[in-house]
Amino acid sequence: MNIYISNLSYDVNDSDLRELFEEYGEVSSAKVIMDRETGRSRGFGFVEMSDDTQGQKAIDELNQAEYDGKVINVNVAKPRTDRPAGGRGGFNRNGGGRDRRSNGGGRSFEKRF
């Protein structure tokens, strides 16, 4: 079972997360997501537990619990959806300097049959 944990303290690391969840069963992996540019925690992470029953017990007991000074949110992780290439930013994807809706230089467009 893949578990999503949010609102983590920026001081929490992978081993802290593993240790927290090992109280509920075998942890296959524990990962705090880091910002690529700053190297700081982004305040959320994922834990993979091999047994779904143990994973659900961890979710039930840790969701809305205080950990390292913050109330954490613990839920079943949603599968990743495909995201468009390019990722970040709200840049203009129309490209070029002209307005594409003008159909080129202000001329009107008529269908010819």
pLDDT digits (tens, 9 = 90+) for 39-64: 999 999 999 999 999 999 999 999 99
Nearest to 51, CA basis, from 75, 15, 77, 24? 24
For the chain, give the mean pLDDT.
84
- Cα dihedral sign for 15, 22, 49, 56? negative
Q: Which domains does the chain have, with CATH numbers?
A: 2-76 (3.30.70.330)
Mean pLDDT of all residues in 81-101? 57
Measured in degrees and rounded to the nearest 5, phi and psi for residue 27 equal: -100, 120
Q: What is the separation of C-alpha 109 from the centre of its chain, rounded to a whole number of angstroms?
A: 45
Rounded to 5 degrees, what angle do the CA atoms 28, 31, 35 make?
A: 165
